[in-house]
């Protein structure tokens, strides 16, 4: 039977241990039983092997299946079970008991390529040392990899700073992160009040504390996308990002440039949420309701009176008879006739 170790017991065990691995691999597990074996195999296949593996069962409803999958790996992992408290709390539980100088995060449904740890440790130790490094990833949809990488869609450009993170000039994939444990502890760990985007919040706090960060544009991770995963729900992800930006805006140590970037990013995220809501309603066949998000003031302010949004709303109205009695916003009235002629 799989041995379950409580956080308190493991703290005592770690204090008495004499061997200290260089890296602690932290794997939160929630509804990932079908994928956890591949995740663990990818860790055990690393070309760098001075590490420990900590799996945290965050009160998963598939615990029986999860433990059946994990039991075969019990000689090589530390398994912690806790009541459901979210990904941030699960990662924090792993960080607190970790013995390595570095922590590496891997979601229980993602995979590392064999050279991941070797490559990322080389980077984090270079140029005098960094507090955190990350890399690129291919998305794994079913059994197929996407042709373009995550950085093709969400690029990282220039230095990693609070401002570049806020403005999405640098985008961190959590399953590609290797960081110094001491830096994360000093920053206060993950904020467990956030149901998602708690990683974005931590990266921002690290940056504001002066942690040096870097990345490599090399694919070292396969990031799984499937129905029910957070990555498959852009609205939920964006709302989490909005919450983090709103929290960050309350800091009193922001520069003028950082504060302006927050306002701009909040507007962008809120507008994008409305566009996704409109698309979801359209896909569901609720054509009349889909017009409202597309025509919201925040979307209009982002695309302009005669931009994409105007064309989309009027095109929808033409295509579907039930739009005949829908009143377009005032901002669209002036360009309605011209746009209809071009539909």
Q: How many domains does the chain have?
A: 2
Domain containing residue 132: CATH number: 3.90.550.10
Q: Given phi > 0 = left and psi -120 to 50 = alpha, else beta, which region is 229?
A: beta
Q: Using CA of residue 166, residue 84, residue 93, residue 47, what is the dihedral sign?
A: negative
CB atoms within 10 A of CB 247: 16
Residues facing residue 24 across a β-bridge: 52, 103
Query: Is residue 246 included in any domain, yes or no?
Result: no
Cα separation, 280 vs 274, in Å, equals 10
Q: Please say whether the beta carbons of 203 and 172 come within 8 A.
A: yes
What are the strands, taking DSSP E only, across 200-323?
Answer: 213-225
Half-sphere exposure of 176 (CA within 13 A, CB side): 28
Same structural domain, 71 and 107: yes
Per-residue pLDDT tens for 26-63? 999 999 999 999 999 999 999 999 999 999 999 999 99
Cα separation, 278 vs 157, in Å, equals 31
Q: Please say whether the beta carbons of 138 and 223 come within 8 A.
A: yes
Q: Please say whether the beta carbons of 228 and 222 come within 8 A.
A: no
Same structural domain, 168 and 291: no
Same structural domain, 315 and 277: yes
CB atoms within 10 A of CB 140: 20
Estimate the crossing angle of helix 87-97 against helix 198-208, to 10 degrees: 50
Query: Is residue 182 included in any domain, yes or no?
Result: yes
Query: Is residue 247 included in any domain, yes or no?
Result: no
Same structural domain, 72 and 184: yes
Half-sphere exposure of 126 (CA within 13 A, CB side): 11
Same structural domain, 268 and 134: no
Query: Is residue 240 included in any domain, yes or no?
Result: no
Q: Which domain holds residue 172?
A: 7-232
Cα separation, 120 vs 166, in Å, equals 24
Residues facing residue 252 across a β-bridge: none
Query: Is residue 49 included in any domain, yes or no?
Result: yes
Backbone φ and ψ for 132, nearest 5 degrees, come out as: -155, 140
* Residue position matching structure tokens 């396969």: 222
Taking only the tens of pLDDT, the chain with its 343 residues reads 565 554 433 333 333 333 799 999 999 999 999 999 999 999 999 999 999 999 999 999 999 999 999 999 999 999 999 999 999 999 999 999 999 999 999 999 999 999 999 999 999 999 999 999 999 999 888 767 777 899 998 899 999 999 999 999 999 999 999 999 999 999 999 999 998 899 999 999 999 999 999 999 999 999 998 766 555 577 788 889 999 999 999 999 999 999 999 999 999 888 888 777 777 666 777 666 656 655 555 554 555 443 444 444 444 444 444 444 444 444 433 433 333 333 3
Final residue of a structural domain among 232, 267, 301: 232
Estimate the crossing angle of helix 308-319 against helix 287-294, to 10 degrees: 170
Query: Is residue 250 included in any domain, yes or no?
Result: no
Cα separation, 313 vs 295, in Å, equals 7
């Amino acid at each position: 039977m799989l041995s379950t170790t409580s956080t308190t017991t493991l703290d005592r065990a770690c204090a008495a241990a004499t061997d200290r691995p260089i890296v602690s691999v932290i794997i939160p597990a929630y509804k990932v039983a079908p994928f956890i074996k591949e995740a663990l195999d990818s860790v055990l296949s690393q070309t760098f092997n001075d590490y420990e593996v900590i799996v945290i069962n965050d009160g998963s409803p598939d615990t029986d299946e999860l433990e059946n999958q994990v039991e075969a790996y019990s000689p090589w992992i530390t398994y912690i079970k806790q009541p459901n408290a979210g990904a941030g709390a699960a990662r924090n539980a792993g960080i607190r008991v970790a013995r390595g100088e570095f922590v590496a995060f891997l979601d229980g449904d993602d995979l590392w390529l064999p050279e991941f740890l070797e490559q990322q440790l080389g980077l984090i130790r270079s140029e005098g040392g960094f507090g955190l490094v990350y890399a690129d990833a291919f998305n794994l949809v079913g059994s197929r990899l996407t042709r373009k990488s995550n950085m093709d869609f969400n690029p990282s450009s220039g230095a990693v700073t609070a401002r570049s993170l806020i403005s999405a000039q640098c985008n961190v994939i959590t399953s590609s992160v290797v960081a110094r444990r001491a830096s994360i502890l000093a920053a206060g760990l993950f904020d467990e009040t956030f149901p998602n985007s708690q990683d974005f919040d931590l990266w921002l706090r690290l940056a504001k504390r002066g942690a040096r960060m870097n990345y490599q544009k090399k694919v070292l991770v396969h990031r799984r996308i499937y129905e029910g995963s957070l990555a498959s729900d852009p609205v939920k992800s964006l709302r989490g990002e909005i919450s983090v930006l709103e929290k960050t805006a309350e800091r009193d140590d922001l520069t003028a440039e950082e504060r302006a970037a927050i306002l701009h990013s909040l507007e962008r995220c809120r507008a994008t949420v409305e566009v996704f809501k409109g698309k979801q309603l359209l896909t569901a066949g609720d054509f009349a309701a889909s017009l409202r998000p597309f025509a919201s003031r925040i979307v209009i302010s982002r695309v302009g009176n005669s931009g994409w949004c105007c064309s989309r709303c009027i095109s929808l109205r033409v295509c579907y008879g039930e739009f005949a009695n829908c009143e377009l916003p005032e901002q669209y009235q002036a360009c309605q006739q011209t746009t209809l002629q071009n539909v």
